[in-house]
Structure 1
Amino acid sequence: MTTRVLALENDPGAALALRLTFERAGYEVVLSFDGQSGPRMAGEQRPDLVVVDSELLGTDPRPLLDRIRDKAGVPMLLLTSANLAENGYEGVDGWLARPFTSGELLAEVEALLHPAGND
């Protein structure tokens, strides 16, 4: 069974890069370009992991992250800028500061999908 990733990304160029990175690594990718559709997509698409662009979250990210988690119940990875990463985020399982490489992204995804000791 193919691992499905739901990527919530508002930038079309970044969304394409995410799609290509995940598809080349053998993942199935579902894209959404706005945060408000995130909870609905998470419930409908039943992803194994949700990747969220921090720019979609607004000033108070917690309500949206909670709604996505309630629908999907899977690990969530936040993609953020370096200055925002210093603040930390509750409600996500991991974060990756931009800029990052495809290898760094895939390593973080694998760590969230297959935590050490849970094999």
Structure 2
Amino acid sequence: MKEIILRLSNLETIQDSTNEATRCIFITSILNASIAITRKLTNNEEIYIAYQDDVSGEDSVGRVDYSIKGYEDLICIVEGKPRNVEIGYLQNIKQLESASHMNKGRKRTTDQAFENDNDYIME
């Protein structure tokens, strides 16, 4: 966590004009912190981040900037957007829907995945 805090404190404010490398460092730092917190809460080392991952579902197919996986399930998809945050949100929602379709059939409940310890996990 100290390394993540150090990285974020060394970055200038994220704005529309911020270059891609700065955005990637910012996003990666937050995702790594999220994974570290989740691993600590769940005692699960099976959660990891994949960069430039191909995702396909019923309605959409494509490469995403970041995906977080655990137990072979796609947990989260993140697409960094340089401008127009609203479009980025909509794209992420559509990609999460595709991830849900990919995970059907092997999907577990939150309680099964995190052993009823989901105080900090958003559903």
Pairwise TM-score range, normalised by the shorter structure: 0.3 to 0.5
Query: TM-score when scaled to structure 2?
Result: 0.33
Query: TM-score when scaled to structure 1?
Result: 0.33
Larger radius of gyration: 2
